[in-house]
Amino acid sequence: MFVKLAVAASLVASVAAHATFQELWVNGVDQGSSCVRLPASNSPVTSVTTPDIACNANAASSKGVCQVLPGDEVTVEMHQQPGDRSCANEAIGGAHYGPINIYMAKVDDATTAVGSSAKWFKVSEMGLPSSNPDYWATEVLNDNCGHFTFKVPSDIAPGNYLIRAEVIALHVASQPGGAQFYMSCFQVNVGGSGSANPPTVSFPGAYSASDPGILINIYEQLNSYQIPGPSPYATTSPTVAATPYPTTATWNTALQPSTVPTAVPTAGAKGIGKA
């Protein structure tokens, strides 16, 4: 891995580089923030043992429930500031490099379910998505206007679910407690007639502060990266967009194509920052 150097002061991360998942799309149709439990701030959770690791701290309640079907393509959307959906701004900036994880949990009532009491199964993940060791999943978000798309498993049982979308920022993860977790929970109802109940984990409980994908120095040479948590259920690894979406507020609804980039689409070296 190319050594990432601390360069200009402008690359030092700030609070503005923090971010939240704010919106949901179903099969390319924008659901907005109608079914998200929006976190109270864009600050990260840093402890894997707090109940906040499930659905973030002081997340607002929501009465909205988005309708999905098994096999639907669902897109979660991240931005730095509430209500800012501009593609001209990075979804998560400040050298906040790391993986993306998507979990689901079957619950009795998505509007009242407690995330830390739910049982979660992973449905999608992305860490280092190509042979380029400097190109992280968070840069896929930045190249795609904050969008990350996954498929609802085709065989899961109908009913209410929570979707947990998560970025783990690793820019200061070389010390215990340095990894930063940015997550939001979305409330959905899954239709269909499936019957599968995948194996699950709990939050807190799924991660340890010493997991190799959480306690890690990403500025050293990496031959591989182990994404925290279980393997995704009944899904394949997502593909990566070859080119960024245009810098407008209108999203190109095409999903990430199969071409994987081999070069980082950025200018200059990456800096080490903390926020």
Could you give the residue ranges of the DSSP H alpha helices within the chain?
52-55, 137-143
Nearest alpha-carbon partner for 54 in 162, 210, 196: 162
Q: What is the pLDDT at residue 8?
A: 29
Q: Which two tokens stand for residue 160?
A: 């209410």
pLDDT at 271: 39
Instruction: Give the CATH number of domain 19-190; options: 1.20.1420.20, 2.70.50.70, 3.20.20.80, 3.90.650.10.
Output: 2.70.50.70
Q: What angle do CA 184, 56, 161 make, to 5 degrees?
A: 50
- The per-residue pLDDT for 253 is 35
Q: What is the pLDDT along the chain (275 residues), one digit of tens a residue?
A: 333 433 323 334 445 589 999 999 999 999 999 999 999 999 999 999 999 999 999 999 999 999 999 999 999 999 999 989 999 999 999 899 999 999 999 999 999 999 999 999 999 999 999 878 889 999 999 999 999 999 999 999 999 999 999 999 999 999 999 999 999 999 999 999 999 999 999 999 999 999 999 999 999 988 889 999 999 997 555 544 444 433 333 333 333 333 333 333 333 334 334 45
3 CB-contact burial (10 Å; exposed 0-12 / middle 13-18 / buried 19+): exposed
Q: Say how far apart CA 263 and CA 259 lie, in whole Å.
A: 12
Burial class (CB in 10 A: 0-12, 13-18, 19+), 150: buried
User: What is the biggest distance separating any 2 CA atoms in the chain, rounded to whole angstroms?
Assistant: 55
Give the span between the Cα atoms of 167 and 142, in whole angstroms. 12
Closest residue by Cα to residue 168 from 202, 207, 118: 207
State the pLDDT at residue 5: 37
The reported pLDDT for the residue numbered 38 is 97
Question: pLDDT value at position 222?
Answer: 85
Contact 167, 138 (CB under 8 A): yes
**Smallest Cα–Cα separation from 275: which of 44, 3, 98?**
44
- Rounded to an integer, what distance in angstroms lies between the CA atom of residue 138 and that of residue 221? 19
Residue with tokens 């800012």: 84
| Strand pairing class (159-169; 29-32) | unpaired
Write down the domain spans for the chain: 19-190
